[in-house]
Amino acid sequence: MKSITTDHRSIDGKTPTSVMLLQNPLDFIAEDHLRLRAMCAALDRLAETTPVEGAAISEMIDYLGHELPLLLADEDDDLMPHILSRAEPEDELPKLTRRLEKEHAEIACLLKAVTSGLAGLALATSISNALRTSMHDLADAARRHLILENAVLLPLAKARLTKEDLHAIRAAMLKRRGLESLFAT
């Protein structure tokens, strides 16, 4: 597993999101979304690569097995509950919540298939058509999901969440990563 970066920005989309951005968890999630977009492009490229590239597969397995599940948990376990607690009727959050939950479930299902398939490539020289399709489907599902989250969820979070909410979200995200003392005062 790669070490967690502590610089302030990931420039190339390949470096894990800097935990220093957790000073504002919404900034961290926005940056993690940029990372996910870059990993979707890498997943699409990897699906079409012959012969199989061991280092690229290892990097993708690391991302899909560690970083993406953390992002999904950040959103499901912390961000959404706080937004729901602050929502106004005009936010129409029940509809948005159902859609986000459906998309996360789809991503989680595809994530399992792709991670398992990639892990099984240790001795293979090519990617099966079924795995190739799952890889493209995961990238497409993640991109669609990012559009909704970046256009609706994050702006709503910025408008509705309080400093106390952001502090609670940050604390939970740090704990999830085993970094509770990072911003201790």
**In the prediction, which pLDDT does 122 show?**
67
Question: What CATH number should be reported for the domain holding residue 25?
Answer: 1.20.120.520
| Structure tokens that stand for 75 in this block | 């959103």
3 domain-assigned: no
- Total domain count, the chain: 1
Tell me if 175 sits within 8 A of 12, measured CB to CB: no
Rounded to 10 deg, the angle between the 93-119 and 54-62 helix axes is 140
Give the Cα separation of 27 and 22 in Å (integer): 7
**In the prediction, which pLDDT does 120 show?**
86
Task: Please report the beta strands in the chain, taking only residues with DSSP state E, as ranges in sequence order.
Answer: none
101 domain-assigned: yes
Percent helix, strand, coil in the chain, to 5, is: 75, 0, 25
11 domain-assigned: no
Give the Cα separation of 122 and 19 in Å (integer): 31
Residue spans of the chain under pLDDT 50: 1-10
| Structure tokens that stand for 118 in this block | 């990639």
**In the prediction, which pLDDT does 6 show?**
41
87-104 core/surface letters (b: 16 or more CB in 10 A; e: else): beeebebeebeeebeebb
**In the prediction, which pLDDT does 109 show?**
96
Domain that holds residue 55: 19-176
